[in-house]
Structure 1
């Protein structure tokens, strides 16, 4: 018995020691995590120079919350999970001031499962029925505006939630923040909470002004904070780039509001700007659809958002749930998946495009953003390398702009990476033809060899065969690469004169493919004047410009004999485009190409267009799949009738042509009250136009 008891106590002692050891290990983990997060808070809130992405920071914070929930006795009031922002001194020029009611942060969730588990499920246990106010989550700086008897008396940043920085003088310069509230019977004391942000358009303007001389702002939030931190000799025009939206109130003398929706309506009545995209839902599934809609279409908004905010609408129900030291329990931020990822720059290669400009391509370790693997991104030109201060071995931030185009937005330099950085060697000769590169006025390098450079020739021929140009079937980009690499073709004329002898020299090109190509090329191509002009690849002469020129000149001969005065008299044709056209038509080599092309191409000139036709000079955008006519043919037919075809919706758009499964262009068109017509209506209108000609 004694031996058994001894064995029992030994096992028990081992278990106790193991638990103590485990607790010690977790305590070390928690302390380490707190230090790391506190340091990131300091860099983010104070230095405005974060070296971690938002989603990485959120993961660290979630990890700390889980550990503290597992061992609640290790919690303390100084933990980042219990604090808002940073307690360090931030805006060195500004004095601290307290909020009348603490200005808390929000808890975040990143999945539908966590949203239901951490927010909706606890609410359902206490409140069976409730409405929810769904708002957009702006990527800016939180601010608290204090109005006394309707007059703005102070503006304070969030700070640590209890004390913020008094930046009233700067806030007074922001155009859409009223100094005096509208209406009667205004509260004696009213704290209005909201977000200061900068629009995407103003962000570009700001970086062009180069406010930060050493390095341009990498994102809209850092730009907003950077402007607000300015004090000495501040330019009012810079502050005017900022905007404000309110999302609620703090202190009020008598809270007579019944709901969040009512608060927002009253704020609007007072003249305070609020976001118009707020919705009230009682259905969980409608809230999820609201989230999914803005997740997909956020790139259409003029400002950046990083998620949505869901709040219990009823104020009494909000009070039932209350808040923690850090965040309210009646509201939560449902954040979008990050459009940014951190990776390592391996190398930079250089390419020559159709216009001869040298384009750097960044190659990096593959990252997956929203289900898409990305391993390279264009750097546009060498100025972008200087702007980013980019070097081989850098940790770089990759973003998918508009969920499509990968872009390097920032370089994160830390103690570990600074020694490994290597300069990017900018080439002095063309990587394709070895000719010496020249510099334009804006320091952009370009190759002067034109179509004698294989890279430029390949790019031009791919442009030449495209649908909006000559539209050559059975010849693809890979075949063009092979033909040029083997020196089998040296111009667009050679391409149209391909024969069986030449094509048989191309590897892996079968007899069937050769027969199809030759059969197609045997027929003389019939091309509208505007498409022919576009096919020439003249710099700055795109589809719309080609269309405009084709209406101005009756024949190709008229066009080739033009002068600077005539060109500049054409609507929407500027000096730069005019000079590019003259430079092109003055070269004998180009004229010889055109003359030889005319042996294989018939140009169709439009009959005189009646200005009374429905489509004349209308700016038109097409969305969705067309059932009865190909998009390519429709575009050409509309251009013959004098229409101007655009790819993006704007306030100046006149007509949106609607196909099956339209994109978000439909919503944008509805917002701008643009005329929308379907495919059947378009075909009916085309049939009514007597001078309409199919080809």
Structure 2
């Protein structure tokens, strides 16, 4: 009996332990997913430079929603499933402005099955016999125009859905946006929602004329965004290239509407431009046909669209369904699949990276997708060649969506394309140093020669001089390649020992430029410990890992004398990184290079930070622009003094450093009674702790 009881309690204990493990595992998974999505939001909404496909982003959101629903106690009001845009600092001169009604985003689907499953079927369970308003989804910048008594008084970008950036000065220069409304009986306040875009013809005209000093734009969306945020005295003609169409309203008083179609007609009556392609359908099949028609004929339109928007036409029924924090439940964006082009595969080149990993690069006949000429794509590893069954001479489909790196999706099998095909020879020797290549269990090829391999050396030296490492000016990729090819530089010490005699051996390198290089090398006498660690190019070690490791070991001597057990005990450092570090410091060649580097430079250690300094271990957030220091150098100095830099304001924030044109962080800091200091105060403190 006792044995049975013991067995029962052991099973129960194991069950509890498993549940605890499961909780921590999924908690970490949710946190990591939120970080990843926030990073993509930042790139899209702030930098305007997305590097993920729409459907991939939606998969991440869906995955996060699923996990949050499974573990509701891990839900967070700041989660990406609750936010619209990116709550980050503004990168421009623009001031902030509040929308009277939140400017929400739209949920997306990419196929008929999801459209029915995620939108039409759930709605039909609640409300029967619906009419839908189908509109084009313009590939531009969403804006909010506020008219007071018929006069345009402000204009803002979407921002985070609550606060946008005030772009009224540039909006007033766009011809298609009326400064005053037409007709009679205007509402006292009217928020007009719409899209700023540039036509294909005007986009081509802009790039041909170049407007003297303006850069060559890559696509229409980025062009519209770039023009809207111009802060200089530019030729007003450039704003005439922009167009505007309204797709709805935000806040309105005095007037009530019964449906979406009526709203659009009233906007047109007021003189606001609307699209002529809006249609009302009650049939699911007609909606699909509307989508298929514009999917097939979108290239005939004068502007770019990336899908259609389907809205419930009846406003009362819209209100019944309501909203989530992110998007209305009564509307859905049905997006087109990514643009694809057919082309011919010419060759595969195997490229060697800094860590020795071999990456196949496919070169093909140039194709133009969304205004960008593309003639190569990364294949990641040889598994991709095997999966696609690629051969030289194949006709391949190139896909590019969201202005990101192109991808080969598949090979076209056709009797017309069967001639002149050649098998791709997977290398057994390194293309650079001819050493025998090794293969991991995952079929990843890599060269074990390290810095004796010229291509690895070139990639490593580029890493060594980068901003997050030694930050040496004027030593660019082309110059490094020439120095390595001529055997003038064989390691990082050789690079720091460059002199006039060595540099004069490089063709087309003038005396003035040589002097700039030498001066830059001369100025590089000190480096912070975390940057020194990053400069070593240890696999798996990024800037954040190096920062935590520098704080843990405090000196290089401690770092070099560590062991695997100690490395694994460091917070935020995984087993893979620990093993990579241990392997690196176990090699004599690496230790010799470090010793020689120490003869040229001095390391600034965290241990030298005075714990009495004002910034030590304070959680600091920064907002606005600064007159006498760049954001990068400000963060660098604060970290040297032991500060912990946060991108967001929270209750745990100790200090906000305030520059000119601050973001909404200032309002939040005031609400939370967080201490605020300006640039002058920061500089006086820097002088004190110099």
TM-score by length of 1: 0.51
TM-aligned CA deviation for residue 218 of structure 1: 2.4
Secondary structure, in 3 states, of the residue corresponding to 1:245?
A: strand
Separation (CA, whole Å) in 2 of partners of 1:259 and 1:417: 63
Separation (CA, whole Å) in 2 of partners of 1:350 and 1:318: 49
Deviation readout 1:336-372 (Å, 9 max, x if unpaired): 112269x987255899xxxxxxx99647648999xxx
Distance 1:375 1:19, change over 3 A: same
Secondary structure, in 3 states, of the residue corresponding to 2:237?
A: helix
Deviation readout 1:437-474 (Å, 9 max, x if unpaired): xxxxxxxxxxxxxxxxxxxxxxxxxxxxxxxxxxxxxx
Secondary structure, in 3 states, of the residue corresponding to 2:79?
A: coil
Alignment of 1:582-621 (within 5 A): none
Separation (CA, whole Å) in 2 of partners of 1:340 and 1:74: 40
TM-aligned CA deviation for residue 399 of structure 1: 11
Separation (CA, whole Å) in 2 of partners of 1:51 and 1:106: 20
The answer on whether the counterparts of 1:345 and 1:396 sit within 8 Å (CA) in structure 2 is: no
Secondary structure, in 3 states, of the residue corresponding to 2:130?
A: coil
Distance 1:19 1:272, change over 3 A: same
TM-aligned CA deviation for residue 202 of structure 1: 1.5
Separation (CA, whole Å) in 2 of partners of 1:92 and 1:363: 33
Give the equivalent residue in structure 2 for 1:21.
Answer: 21
The answer on whether the counterparts of 1:348 and 1:360 sit within 8 Å (CA) in structure 2 is: no
TM-aligned CA deviation for residue 14 of structure 1: 2.1
TM-aligned CA deviation for residue 62 of structure 1: 2.6
TM-aligned CA deviation for residue 86 of structure 1: 1.2
The answer on whether the counterparts of 1:361 and 1:376 sit within 8 Å (CA) in structure 2 is: no
The answer on whether the counterparts of 1:363 and 1:376 sit within 8 Å (CA) in structure 2 is: no
Deviation readout 1:376-417 (Å, 9 max, x if unpaired): 88xxxxxxxxxx9xxxxx9546899xxxxxxxxxxxxxx999
The answer on whether the counterparts of 1:339 and 1:399 sit within 8 Å (CA) in structure 2 is: no
Alignment of 1:2-151 (within 5 A): 2-90=2-90, 92-151=92-151
The answer on whether the counterparts of 2:187 and 2:254 sit within 8 Å (CA) in structure 1 is: yes
Give the equivalent residue in structure 2 for 1:302.
Answer: 302
Separation (CA, whole Å) in 2 of partners of 1:155 and 1:419: 43
Alignment of 1:229-248 (within 5 A): 229-248=229-248
Give the equivalent residue in structure 1 for 2:277.
Answer: 277
The answer on whether the counterparts of 1:364 and 1:375 sit within 8 Å (CA) in structure 2 is: no
Distance 1:360 1:311, change over 3 A: closer
TM-aligned CA deviation for residue 5 of structure 1: 3.5
Deviation readout 1:462-507 (Å, 9 max, x if unpaired): xxxxxxxxxxxxxxxxxxxxxxxxxxxxxxxxxxxxxxxxxxxxxx
Larger Rg: 1
Does 275-284 or 287-296 show the bigger shift? 287-296
Separation (CA, whole Å) in 2 of partners of 1:11 and 1:360: 59
The answer on whether the counterparts of 2:396 and 2:408 sit within 8 Å (CA) in structure 1 is: no
Q: How many residues align?
A: 385
Secondary structure, in 3 states, of the residue corresponding to 1:11?
A: helix
TM-aligned CA deviation for residue 28 of structure 1: 1.2
TM-aligned CA deviation for residue 298 of structure 1: 1.4
TM-aligned CA deviation for residue 212 of structure 1: 10
The answer on whether the counterparts of 2:377 and 2:405 sit within 8 Å (CA) in structure 1 is: no
TM-aligned CA deviation for residue 418 of structure 1: 8.0
The answer on whether the counterparts of 1:345 and 1:362 sit within 8 Å (CA) in structure 2 is: no
Alignment of 1:503-542 (within 5 A): none
Give the equivalent residue in structure 2 for 1:583.
Answer: none
Deviation readout 1:567-597 (Å, 9 max, x if unpaired): xxxxxxxxxxxxxxxxxxxxxxxxxxxxxxx
TM-aligned CA deviation for residue 151 of structure 1: 0.8
Secondary structure, in 3 states, of the residue corresponding to 1:196?
A: strand
Secondary structure, in 3 states, of the residue corresponding to 1:86?
A: coil
TM-aligned CA deviation for residue 259 of structure 1: 0.1
TM-aligned CA deviation for residue 150 of structure 1: 0.9
Separation (CA, whole Å) in 1 of partners of 2:29 and 2:252: 42
Secondary structure, in 3 states, of the residue corresponding to 1:52?
A: coil
Separation (CA, whole Å) in 2 of partners of 1:179 and 1:322: 32
Give the equivalent residue in structure 2 for 1:324.
Answer: 324
Give the equivalent residue in structure 2 for 1:200.
Answer: 200
TM-aligned CA deviation for residue 72 of structure 1: 2.3
The answer on whether the counterparts of 1:362 and 1:376 sit within 8 Å (CA) in structure 2 is: no
The answer on whether the counterparts of 2:51 and 2:405 sit within 8 Å (CA) in structure 1 is: no
The answer on whether the counterparts of 2:462 and 2:477 sit within 8 Å (CA) in structure 1 is: no
Separation (CA, whole Å) in 1 of partners of 2:334 and 2:37: 21
Give the equivalent residue in structure 2 for 1:291.
Answer: 291
Deviation readout 1:416-436 (Å, 9 max, x if unpaired): 99869998x9xxxxxxxxxxx
1:346 to 346, 354, 361: 361
Give the equivalent residue in structure 2 for 1:508.
Answer: none
**Correspondence 1:191 to 2:191:** yes
**Correspondence 1:312 to 2:312:** yes
Q: Which runs of 5+ in 2 are unaligned?
A: 342-347, 349-358, 367-372, 389-393, 411-458, 465-475, 482-690
- Greater RCO between the two (CA within 8 Å, min separation 6)? 2
Separation (CA, whole Å) in 2 of partners of 1:68 and 1:112: 26
Separation (CA, whole Å) in 1 of partners of 2:217 and 2:408: 15
Secondary structure, in 3 states, of the residue corresponding to 1:277?
A: coil
Alignment of 1:341-380 (within 5 A): 346=361, 348=363, 362=376, 365=379, 375=396
